[in-house]
Amino acid sequence: MVTRPVKTPLPHPPDAAISDDLSIEYPSEDGERLAETEYQYVPLTETVSAMRNRFGNRPDVYVIGNMLVYYRMNDSTVRVAPDVFVVFDAAGNHPRRSWFVWREGKAPDFVLEVASRRTHRRDLVEKRDIYRRIGVTEYWRFDPTGECFTPALAGERLVAEHISRYP
């Protein structure tokens, strides 16, 4: 269930004394492959396609997959690459090389991670915590093989103080 987000402030608002150093280079690639196998590739690409079909007429909704999200200003090493993400109230639905939380004014609203044997532990703990801290409101995990998670599809509404689960 992709829902309209509740407005929340950025978890790390820029300090007035710190400005965005535009000379810093933020790579748009992390050297990781798009998906480990067809089990991950198909759900990732089909979810992006379905979400784009659903929200394609909305210029304020941005949908993408496997793109780097930078969430700490002036630090090109602090990033995450969701398999699929959706942003409501985006500043335009135009191509980007990366998503910069502080420049865009918000984190993604919806994230889906497609599990693989190599990534499922990180998806369950580390990425979930990162997404919660940066302000992602809905986090879903899908296990296309049923080997990593039970149930194979699970979602959570992430908020700073409380996490509600969607089985």
What is this structure's pTM? 0.83
pLDDT reading at 1 higher than 80: no
- Per-residue confidence band for 5, with pLDDT thresholds at 50, 70 and 90: very low
| 83 within some domain | no
Residue 60 lies in a domain: yes
* CA–CA distances in Å: residue 104 to residues 23, 108, 112, 120: 18, 10, 20, 28
- Residue 17 falls within a domain, yes or no? no
Given this model, what pLDDT does residue 9 score? 41
In a domain, residue 8? The reply is: no
Q: Does a structural domain hold residue 9?
A: no
Overall number of domains in the chain: 1
Joined together, the tokens standing for residue 154 give 């699970």
Q: Are strands 69-70 and 79-80 parallel, antiparallel or unpaired?
A: antiparallel
Chain mean pLDDT for the chain = 86
Distance CA 136, CA 155 (A): 12
Token pair 């909305």 in the structure block, residue: 58
Summarised one tens digit per residue, pLDDT across range 65-112 is 999 999 999 999 999 999 999 999 999 889 999 999 999 999 999 999
Q: Which domain holds residue 135?
A: 42-75+89-106+128-144
Burial degree of 12 (CB within 10 A; 0-12, 13-18, 19+): middle
Higher pLDDT, 167 or 48: 48
